[in-house]
């Protein structure tokens, strides 16, 4: 595809369950980013991958959040033991490298009941 | 995470009017970007600025990268109804930090 894709588009889960969110970046983009957007708020940086370098995890809000990027392409954001305050839209973006413009996917809307 | 200070929070304008919004930060960024987000969609890039002092136009949009690298503004000239949406500024170095957004309403 031409753009960043994310799945699922919507996810409803119960408090305490684990969830996995997937991001497929634009082909050839070495940089991949995860952001969180709460209702009516701006975007909050979570984590950044650049090639084979160690990821920048400085934005992860707690140790319940983790992310992997396998083979330098697809990324998975995992939230363990979800809490109601984790409800938000999780956006993924990719760019050719960290100096270039990021392009966003449509997001995954997570609702924790 | 660290946020940028974006203002105004919201604007209600008449079609045809010009719009101006800005972002400031206490930190320096290497790149400033402006995005527009429609309901249910991811942000879409409008303008990217890569050098301090840079002034860039994209149609009716004009944006500038502040000389101190700590601020940027976006102007929209002759607004039209489809300009409605939320506009976000972002500073990149390389992970991005975002402003809280400016919600623009355009009355026909």
pLDDT tens digits, residue range A26-68? 999 999 999 999 877 778 889 989 888 888 888 899 999 999 9
Whole-number Cα distances in Å, A91 to A110, B21, B35, B56 = 11, 24, 14, 27
Written as six digits, the tokens of B89 are 């500024």
- Provide the mean pLDDT of chain B: 91
Which pLDDT value is given to residue A63?
Answer: 94
Per-residue confidence at B1, pLDDT binned at 50, 70, 90?
very low
Residue A40 DSSP label:
T
Q: Does B99 touch chain A (CB under 8 A)?
A: yes
Q: Compare all CA atoms of chain A with the CA of B38 and give the residue at the minimum distance.
A: A106
* Mean pLDDT, residues B36-49 taken together: 87
Q: What pairs with residue B61 in β-bridges?
A: B58, B76
> What percent of chain B is predicted at pLDDT more than 90?
70
Give the C-alpha distances (Å, rounded to integers) separating B100 from A39, A74, A87, B23, B69. 11, 29, 18, 10, 19
Contact call for A33 and B95, based on CB within 8 A: yes
Smallest CA–CA distance from A107 into chain B, residue: B42
Mean residue pLDDT of chain A comes to 91
Q: Is the pLDDT of residue A82 over 90?
A: yes
CB A25 within 8 Å of CB A34: no
Contact: A43, B96; criterion CB under 8 Å: yes
A30 touching B, CB under 8 A?
no
Cβ neighbours of residue A4 closer than 8 Å, sequence gap 6 or more: A23, A24, A25, A26, A92, A93, A94, A103, A104, A105, B42
User: For residues A113 and A50, is the Cβ–Cβ distance under 8 A?
Assistant: no
Range scoring the smallest mean pLDDT among B24-38, B65-79, B86-100 = B86-100
Say what percent of chain A tops pLDDT 90.
Answer: 67
- Residue A110's contacts (CB-CB under 8 Å, 6 or more residues apart) are A11, A13, A19, A21, A79, A82, A86, A87, A88, A89, A90
CA distance B107 to A38: 27
């Amino acid at each position: 595809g031409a753009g960043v894709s994310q799945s699922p588009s919507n996810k409803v889960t119960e408090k305490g369950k684990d969830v996995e969110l997937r991001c497929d970046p634009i082909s050839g983009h070495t940089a991949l980013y995860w952001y969180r957007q709460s209702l009516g708020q701006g975007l909050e940086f979570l984590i950044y991958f650049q090639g084979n370098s160690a990821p920048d995890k400085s934005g992860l809000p707690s140790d319940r959040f983790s992310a992997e990027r396998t083979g330098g392409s697809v990324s998975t954001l995992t939230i363990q033991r979800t809490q109601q305050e984790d409800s938000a839209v999780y956006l993924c973006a990719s760019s050719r490298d960290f100096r270039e413009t990021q392009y966003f996917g449509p997001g995954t809307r997570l609702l924790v009941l | 995470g660290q946020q940028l200070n974006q203002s105004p929070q919201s604007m209600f304008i008449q079609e045809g009017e010009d719009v101006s919004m800005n972002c400031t930060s206490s930190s320096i960024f290497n790149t400033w970007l402006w995005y527009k987000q429609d309901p249910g969609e991811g942000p879409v890039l409008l303008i990217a600025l890569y050098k301090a002092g840079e002034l860039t136009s994209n149609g009716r949009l004009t944006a500038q990268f502040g000389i101190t690298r700590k601020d940027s503004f976006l102007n929209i000239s002759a607004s039209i109804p489809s300009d409605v949406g939320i506009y976000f500024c972002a500073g990149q170095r390389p992970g991005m930090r975002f402003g809280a957004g400016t919600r623009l309403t355009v009355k026909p």
